[in-house]
Structure 1
Amino acid sequence: MASVEDIALTLIPRLGPKGIAHLLDLFCSAEKIFSATSDELARQGTLHPDIIEHIRRKTTFQAAEREIKYCRHHTITPVASTDENYPALLRETLDYPHVLYVMGNPEVLRKNHLTMVGTRRMTPYGQQIAEKLISDLETHSSETAIVSGLAFGIDTACHRAALAYGIPTIGVVASVLPEITPAQHTAIARDMIEHGGAIISELHSQTKQNGRYYLARNRILAGMSAGTVVVESPVNGGSLSTALMADSYNRTVMAVPGRLTDNMSFGCNALIRNRKAQMILSAEDIVRELMWDLSRPEEPTKPQSALSVELSRDEAELLACFHTGDPISVEELGNATGRSVQELSVLLFGLEMSGAIRQIPGNRYIRL
């Protein structure tokens, strides 16, 4: 649980998440930051004198103590980035929130996380796909928690599907706990907590609520998970900001394709077209993209060479070029085989469809 020092650090005026992360990188803990001398703090060269004064005088300690009492009263657990329950991947980002306020099970923050987001104007197709992916994901990975934003549409569909199939689910909100935004989702938030999940926010009780926290919330959605799936989105959907943040964190971004004429799929199709996201068609695709263990205890793992589709002679010859586990570019394949880019594109597509290879960023391919 976060200490008074942890919370006090987040309450210092003009000291944002990046500044806090920088100080923690130097001093390792909030306690050591508040124990540092003025000279030690000034030597960092990035702190405004007012911030140094707040740290040395511990001006935010009383407010931090009030925050702890508030959390106890509302059964909220403040989790600091130095705690074992803090999401490990989120801690790797440059602008992680030092304290997360958690309602529910803090230990669920230690699971494998998959963020699933999408449009508020969900179509029946989007709802069906969200439910299908999550139901199948339960079969492939038992240590997964579904993360979303508890918003209308795809977000809530993902939370409901996770509840239906016994998968813990985490809602990241842009409001002060214990209030839930939107209020209509208070009941599902309670169900998520009762079934081993959690609702989390970086906002303390003294935050002046306004609409500007949603973009900051999206960085948590993107940062705490190994991968982000955009289920359904228009071309300017808010979920695309989460996808782009995930890409900036070097996380795996995935998208579900839709019909070219469907406005609610424009955003997903654009992500795939612009190579900002890997196209996924199943939960198995997700597990493979994230390199999670596909094998199940009761089922022997299939040999890596087993293919569900028989290869043509040309495809088999091209596959033989992948004799190491290293990625190979199209240019390298052209040099090795003497084939044109057009010929290679057709053969590579066939190998991808058969499950023999996978494309990765940089127009390179690896053998599966």
Structure 2
Amino acid sequence: MPVEKKYKKSVAIIGCGVAGLVALRHFSAEGSQFKCVAYEQTDNVGGTWVYTDKIGTDKYGLPVHSSMYKSLKTNLPKEIMELPGFPHKGPEDKSYVAANEMLKYLEDFADYFDLKKHVKFHHHVKNISPLDGDRWLITVVELQTNIVETLEFDGVIICIGNYSNPVIPDVPGIEKFCGMKIHSHDYRDSSVFKDKSTVVIGCGPSGLDISFDISKVARKVYLSHHNQRVKNMECPSNMVQKVDIKEIVENGVIFQDGSYEQIDSVLYCTGYQYKYPFLSSECGIYVENNHVKPLFKHTLNIEHPSMYFIGIPTNIAGFYMFDLQVPNLTIISTNVIHF
């Protein structure tokens, strides 16, 4: 009697950074009940770890995803920035590594598990809409040929990362300012700040790291923030910590304590926001106060439980979290995604 073939459920993975690679590894593993395809709009895996000189929009007119800059090194030890079962090959006495080393690690991971055969590079996802039976209609554009496809899937996993949509605060008077204004998303190297007096707004990891980087070439760096934990931090001689900004004027900045400094440039290190412009309103997902809703455990779309989000929580050991989130999805998906 012929053995009936079991239907493999189709899963679309959106994005091929760390989260997308982890999802691809588990959902395409030998014996998996799923068949997957990952859509990546660039020409490589790695997501935010892929450096590009381009800022603004790419050659296809799409927003540049990566916020990577040339001097970046990991601010966490590589030992907690690795994926289970695939350790870093670098020297044991070197824990903090450069971005290109992290990218090489992810490329090696993709090659080791033969994941690239599942990836459609240069594919931009334009729209995702729900269908009956918790299935999905996904429209993608092959960017090199401009060919548009619309396909159906049993499930979809959103893995687009957290660091590509910059937050620009509303600073009083900024419209009067005559100098350069950029967000850390568009920062690539310190050369544009050579001999300038710059105010850096924000002192998260990027704010601190970039402030120290540009202080090597800038005339003066004013780090404006309200974080009491770093107020006693030792800074370079040309870097001064300042309180929050009261107002920007034509050629300078007035701080909340009434002090004034003349500046040539403003660098926003003010973080990022979640955006999903390719999700139709019928998906039921919205962002409120930078919280993605309505999700169960920051992962499962409550309105449509065959849509999942990987990597939303921040201030965590991301690589390990991704690898904890995804295997649970393979179990949930088996029960939720309809045959």
TM range (shorter): under 0.3
Higher RCO (CA < 8 A, seq sep 6+): 2
TM-score (norm 2): 0.27
- Higher gyration radius (CA): 1
